[in-house]
Structure 1
């Protein structure tokens, strides 16, 4: 196995081409190559000097939902035209990077026209925001992604619209036209029943309602007055949503992320489940292999009950954010507790829906960055990222997480510009949301810096994602907790299609030697490992496994 391998990389050009100084043999350093090497042509073995690793990534079918997704906020990701705002053509220019990292799915935060920077209040469901580009740009993106076997899902926001949406403005004008005491006629103005309107006197004191100026009526907006809630009990509204789904599916979209699921009918889970059942049934009738994931910001027990709807996937909020199981147990060094939780929650979800595909994540656009969760400890940042990737299902990574980007507090800070270079100008660089704090510092460096350091968070993520894409049992296997005799060890087995893998993660700050009987667990060898510093290595001697602090062993 490797030891002190590939410790030096140097920049070749201002593009993504790098030259790598590879170290081979028994601690001897080879001469630097006289010819340049395109890193895109190198295998992970060459990246890390692992000459014993001959496994290749398994082929992922187009309809396979077990993918590694990369969440992209287009506004802050990559700018192609120099206006400082990210756009679709900028994203297209970075697809090689996304593919090279090991992602084969992209989740786009809202891209439809909107007056806000985040675009979660839609003005028009049938277009692209002009700041991002055109529908032609979008189809170019779809074609470019599909040529790389990258699936694309987009945010679909139908809990509410923008207060500037034509449906809403037409309805408000109608209510203003009504005389004193006059009731609305929904046949005369169908849009008057597209939202949750009520007489102001009937909703007096309800903070979620806002008055229509010049009218006796008010409307519900759970998030704020600029986001009026749609009336999802209305069949006409559902028909509109179905038309929107048809439109985007016909453009080649592979699925959707459903925003604010539990607020469809706030406080009424049964009605929310019925909406999900309707949507799941409809999407399957249009595109049987569409992938749809729902946002239910709730703990395990609630998400488990949402799976009773038959809906395929939800984000696993129990594991995400700074209070989730991953960060909590890493920070308290309780690996055993996490392994037990992994088994329990997975089994619970399958009890509710045997066809579910879990969607674990660490952070997203609504949370702080994981660097802050881990108190900027690079070892813990790497380990947290790895735990997310050994979970079964469809893993999600928020853009910049692979660089240890920072950002907390107000939402704009969590959506800062992608750190492509150490400079704040140049192709692809965005300026970020205008209300973002000006003192956000990415202390682990930008991509152009981390590419030169084989021990960077960037290279760790690349290796980790490659391992996930090499062994199907990681994403698709059933998880069983193993008590390795040390609570700082998170040990699990992953079984899929007759194959079993054992994964041991050291949550401790010191090297650990663990005995795992080959007779009991039927593994033959150490097939791969992850370490936070490439000076270290995992060693297998008989039944004894020595794992450095924060290291991970993969046995089979």
Structure 2
């Protein structure tokens, strides 16, 4: 290859990969060079019962309303357990279900009480029993970085109770270098707040309604451990922890997150919970790059898993339109295609070529804090299928956010409310979510700070014709639907050890926009073949895979490779040689 062209290709690949991280809201300024590895040998798994499992995240208030009061509830989840089982997932993760003054529940006012809008403790126990009978584990989201301003601990602190004052962080005046824990901004009054009942300021990184707990006080840790172990004793199978980087912060700007004291704290929490139940899952939201998130593994004394926030943004970028990068006549389509495939291979390489178990990372496309992935790819079903194929073929654990499997959209981007809207079950009233005429999403009392808030749900559902096809009932009946694609992928991940957890992964070069991998475990070999083009067929040249007869494990169809074969738009095949 001419030296000039080689330099052009290298720069283009680096440019593409950097561009794929351009909008990543993470504190990672390092560019990611394309991997030179053509084969990856996977580190041993953690031997956890949670290794490479699929978790289904449920926003409880929006999943299914069993009593038609406009709010989803625990009994609604029980009613839909047959659907959840049909997906094939291993666990469900519930958004916070504790007593709270907010719609989201991340500001808890009583850790021992179920929010009555969701149900009762007996309802939760029934959910646990039925889920377990289906082989489905249950994860609770228990936010402990802060509490509600209405929590008894904080109310006592406001009244200058000596014991509970030290449960929170106070200062006579805000430190001059203070700012949000996830940035380098200087804005003391954004995180330090004041009440009329006390002259000093309290720290609340998520706002004045959510005072941070003081985990430097051993009594706080002891009381929180009592809370956590109470729910472990009730029979839950895992805990999702919010904002894990910020429980103990230092006074410096650089000490707002990931401090040594914070890491040590999580080790203590793990020790307590694992002593109670060694199989309890501890999964953390460390909203940062992979290098920082890896710190919380702590040589096996930290989290079992952390959410991989880089993955969503990288896949989103790969599927976005980067035509402007390739407008130069010097840049051919083949170079563009190779840059895309290099970037995708880099996603695999970075998560596998680490010194920690590869199943530590949980990859996802959606969650309650991000705009729906569907909206970032123009609601295009094939792009969503391609993304699902990438995500569920990675040999790590996955999380699917309710509605993702049907391509659920949202009313407007940039607002948490619309990311958490009701599930669309059918073409009935309120998309089958509830028979109530008034849903929680239209209740302005939940959004008192927004003086311009107007009800929107009925207008959205009546004017959005995509709802006719973006619902569970419609897609269940259509073989080629996004829902059935998810089901096929999850079933294969659950039932085939080589697909779920290969010993090695080899990249196979192709001349088209087809991404091809060879998964090997023992004597079994699988070829994963994905057409990355959503708008055109692509040809897999016969030299990429040895000529033979194969079974596509996703649909059990027989395929004979004796010449070039065509893959339909966005098509994904998992090929296994047929027995001779």
Task: Tell me the equivalent position of 2:77.
Answer: 91
Distance in 1, matches of 2:371 and 2:504, equals 28
Distance 1:130 1:496, change over 3 A: farther
CA offsets, 1:157-180, max 9 Å, x none?
A: 0110111111111111116xxxxx
Q: Equivalent of 2:498, from 466, 473, 488?
A: 473
Q: Do the aligned partners of 1:524 and 1:555 also contact (CA within 8 Å) in 2?
A: no
Task: Report the Cα distance in structure 2 between the residues aligned to 1:210 and 1:489, rounded to whole angstroms.
Answer: 54
Task: State the alpha-carbon separation in 2 of the partners of residues 235 and 517 from structure 1.
Answer: 60
Equivalent pair of 2:96/2:104 in contact (CA under 8 Å): yes
Distance in 2 of aligned mates of 1:300 and 1:201: 32
Distance 2:423 2:276 in 1: 35
For 1:426 and 1:373, the matched residues in 2 are separated by: 23
The CA deviation at 1:251 is 1.0
Post-superposition offset of 1:426? 8.6
Higher helix share: 2
- Match 2:320 to one of 323, 327, 331: 331
1:274 to 249, 257, 264: 264
- TM-score relative to the length of structure 2: 0.75
Q: 2:478 aligns with which of 445, 453, 464?
A: 453
Offset at residue 524 of structure 1 (A): 6.6
Q: Tell me how far apart the structure 1 counterparts of residues 219 and 497 of structure 2 sit (CA, whole Å).
A: 43
Pick from 55, 73, 87: which aligns with 1:69?
Answer: 55
Alpha-carbon distance change, 497 to 504 in structure 1, aligned in 2, over 3 angstroms: same
- Identify if the C-alpha distance between structure 1 residues 432 and 388 changes in structure 2 by more than 3 Å, giving closer, same or farther: farther
Q: Distance in 2 between matches of 1:507 and 1:346?
A: 21
1:172-206, Cα deviation, whole Å (9 max, x unpaired)? 1116xxxxxxxxxxxxx221111111223656961
How many residue pairs end up in the alignment? 471
Q: Give distance in 1, aligned partners of 2:90 and 2:474.
A: 25
**What SS does the corresponding residue of 2:97 show, helix, strand or coil?**
coil
1:433 partnered with 2:423: no
1:478 Cα deviation (Å)?
A: 4.8
Deviates more, 1:237-246 or 1:442-451: 442-451
**Paired residues of 1:422 and 1:445 also in contact (CA < 8 A):** no
Residues 1:514 and 2:522 aligned together: no
* Structure 1 residues 256 and 417: CA distance shift in structure 2, 3 A: same
Structure 2 residue 153 is matched with structure 1 residue 167: yes
Is the 1:540–1:546 contact (alpha carbons within 8 Å) kept by the matching residues of 2?
no
For 1:512 and 1:124, the matched residues in 2 are separated by: 59
Q: CA deviation at 1:375?
A: 1.0
Alignment partner, residue 294 of structure 1? 284
Deviations 1:484-531 (A, max 9, x none): 233622222334466443212110232222335556xx9973332479
Q: 1:393: Cα distance to partner?
A: 1.9
State the distance in 2 between where 1:221 and 1:325 align: 32
Deviations 1:117-166 (A, max 9, x none): 11010011112100000000000000000000000111010110111111
- Report if the CA contact (8 A) 2:475-2:483 is conserved: yes
**CA–CA separation in structure 2 for the residues paired with 1:256 and 1:523:** 47
The structure 2 residue matched to 1:391, chosen from 394, 413, 416, is 394
- Alpha-carbon distance, 1:64 to partner: 4.0
Equivalent residue in structure 2 for 1:156, among 142, 146, 162 = 142
Alignment partner, residue 307 of structure 1? 297
Tell me, in whole angstroms, the C-alpha distance in 2 between the residues paired with 1:237 and 1:227.
16
Is 1:376 the counterpart of 2:379? The answer is yes
Q: Is the 8 A contact 1:172 1:192 kept in 2?
A: yes
Question: Structure 1 length normalisation: TM-score?
Answer: 0.79
Quick check: 142-151 or 541-550, which moved more? 541-550
Q: CA RMSD in A?
A: 2.7
Structure 1 segments unaligned to the other structure (5+ residues): 1-60, 176-188, 532-536
- The answer to whether the 8 A contact 2:51-2:359 is kept is no
1:479 to 1:343, Cα distance in 2 relative to 1, 3 A: farther
* Map of 2:188 onto structure 1: 206
Q: Who is 1:226 aligned against? A: 209
